[in-house]
Structure 1
């Protein structure tokens, strides 16, 4: 991935067979867009709880705890953009919306 961060599915000790995420092979992680918040909430005047960045295009959206869940909507609407990482300070994880899998840095 040309020096970019690599991700892996977080291990689940309760499972004998660990799940896989086929989207990791096509990941083109890009930096998050420079913005002061959720791009969609800022445009519409809504509020957000936490921010997520699409690892395919850099779109910054709000988390599923936010009223509008823009990161989830982006993952469903954008073809090939299923993975977003947390932008919260001190958090180093990502989520695959398609496979519903928690990801950690490899």
Structure 2
């Protein structure tokens, strides 16, 4: 499918942050495992394995079902409504978190027992 055939993907919107916007704003424990990008508005949120699951929460609240990975080397789209993967269009850069930012991240916020907190 091309992006003109996938309503809900905006190929002009840049990412909102280099990390989970909600975690960085103090919502939840403040760290994440992996990052996801809303394909409609660029909101960066944490993945469903992360303690706060902000990306899926944003998708539900905003009615923006398409998320894409914001991790280096990953290029996929996920529809939270249909639970299907898609090949999607190229979105504005950056395509992922900075390579200098660890996963889990951000540096200095991840507890030593972080694996215990994953979903």
Q: For this pair of structures, how many residues does the alignment match? A: 84
**Aligned-residue RMSD, C-alpha:** 1.8
Give the whole-Å Cα distance in 2 for the aligned partners of 1:27 and 1:74. Answer: 15
Q: 1:51 to 1:32 in 2, by over 3 A?
A: same
Q: CA deviation at 1:26?
A: 4.2
* TM-score, normalisation: structure 2: 0.63
Whether the 8 Å contact between 2:67 and 2:78 is mirrored in structure 1 is: yes
Q: Which runs of 4+ in 1 moved over 6 A?
A: none
Q: Which runs of 5+ in 2 are unaligned?
A: 90-119
Q: Which runs of 5+ in 1 are unaligned?
A: 1-5, 8-21
Give the whole-Å Cα distance in 1 for the aligned partners of 2:8 and 2:40. Answer: 9
Whether the 8 Å contact between 1:31 and 1:55 is mirrored in structure 2 is: no
Tell me the alpha carbon deviations over residues 75-94 of structure 1, each in whole angstroms, 9 at most, x when there is no partner: 00003x11011010000001
Tell me the alpha carbon deviations over residues 18-40 of structure 1, each in whole angstroms, 9 at most, x when there is no partner: xxxx8x2343232212x231000
